[in-house]
Amino acid sequence: MKKIYGIIGDPVAHSLSPVMHNAAFEKLGMDAVYLAFRVSKDELEDAVRGAKSLGISGLNVTIPLKEKALFFVDAEEVAKKIGAINTIDFSSGTPIGYNTDGIGAKKVLEETVGEIKRKRVLILGAGGAARAISFYLDAEGARVTIANRTKERAAQLASNLHNAKSIGLSAEFKKHIKDSDILINATSVGMHPDEDATLVNADMMHPDLVVFDIVYNPMETKLLREAKRAGVKKIVDGVKMLVYQGAASFRIWTKEEPPVEVMEKVVRDALIRD
């Protein structure tokens, strides 16, 4: 029987996960389909129960449901620490929750710089995305600094990590960028439709800095354009992270190796068409 997967969130209509996972199913000849379901926070519990009753095999969870969804699943330890899930697997009968966002970011960085251990990483933001990424990089032994507009949120996140500092977005922030190996934008700044917004400009960067933006729409954000202007050699857009978190969910659900090149291509094509 055809297996059904999907993504729940609100809004969810513009999610690229359906195109990405359906391309993977097609490539592997799997009898499966991936759909987008708009679910409000109030309906979340019913949606998870209903998905289980209907025999849905797996779900991704997106904004604004990632934190609340923890209450309706058995979550893996790291997802509990992060405080959010983006993946539910129903194959064992009980809904099991995972967070693959941080795995995606870690893999992107490993491909870009090799070993992450001891690298000085400056993460912009202290929301859900920053939490997921910082937990994985901290666990790898990176020296993480969390920089956030609301400094208290940065301090709170850093206090839950092994080897992390926190700062605000003021004067000390500029100096920190100069002393960093990797800069990650884990905020929504620069995302469509605010495409001219960036928290960091070219004059704050150095050419050996790796600049990684988790925003993928637009693919080339203002931050990445500024990095180009600064002569930065390693610039990474958000598409790969989207693909790798999806690939990690795919492995959990299907136990198959996903065709990541196909997934990346359909996502890039869809973003160019947009």
Residues 163-222 that bind ligand ATR (CB under 6 A): 187-189, 199
- As measured in angstroms, the least distance from the Cβ of 181 to ligand ATR is 21
Q: Per the residue annotation, which of 66, 107, 222, 240 is the catalytic one?
A: 66
Do 124 and 185 contact (CB within 8 A), yes or no? yes
Question: Binding residue for ligand ATR (CB under 6 A) from 108, 126, 204, 224?
Answer: 126
Which runs of E-coded beta strand occur in 64-163? 74-75, 87-89, 96-98, 120-124, 143-147
- As measured in angstroms, the least distance from the Cβ of 84 to ligand ATR is 7
Quote the tokens at residue 132.
Answer: 């997921």
Which runs of consecutive H residues, i.e. helices, occur in the chain?
17-28, 44-54, 77-82, 101-113, 128-139, 151-159, 171-178, 222-229, 239-254, 260-273
Identity of the residue, 20 or 214, whose beta carbon is nearer to ligand ATR in the bound complex: 214
Pairing of strands 210-213, 234-236: parallel
Size of site (CB under 6 A) for ligand ATR: 14
Burial of 80 (0-12, 13-18, 19+ CB in 10 A): middle
Do 3 and 35 contact (CB within 8 A), yes or no? no
Bond into 11 cis (ω within 30)? yes
Identity of the residue, 57 or 134, whose beta carbon is nearer to ligand ATR in the bound complex: 134
Residue 223 as a binder of ligand ATR (CB under 6 A): the answer is: no
Would residue 68 show up in a list of annotated catalytic residues for this protein?
Answer: no
- As measured in angstroms, the least distance from the Cβ of 154 to ligand ATR is 8
Q: Which residues pair with 75 in a beta bridge?
A: 97
- As measured in angstroms, the least distance from the Cβ of 223 to ligand ATR is 12
Question: Binding residue for ligand ATR (CB under 6 A) from 52, 81, 149, 268?
Answer: 149
Identity of the residue, 129 or 144, whose beta carbon is nearer to ligand ATR in the bound complex: 129
Question: Binding residue for ligand ATR (CB under 6 A) from 128, 190, 218, 258?
Answer: 128
The closest residue (CB) to ligand ATR is 127
Classified as helix, coil or strand, 24 is: helix
Residue 250 CA to residue 58 CA, distance in Å, equals 9
- As measured in angstroms, the least distance from the Cβ of 64 to ligand ATR is 8
Identity of the residue, 27 or 153, whose beta carbon is nearer to ligand ATR in the bound complex: 153
Residue 77 CA to residue 81 CA, distance in Å, equals 6
Residue 262 CA to residue 13 CA, distance in Å, equals 22
Residue 246 as a binder of ligand ATR (CB under 6 A): the answer is: no
Where does this chain bind ligand ATR (CB under 6 A)?
125-130, 148-150, 153, 187-189, 199
Residues with active-site annotation: 66
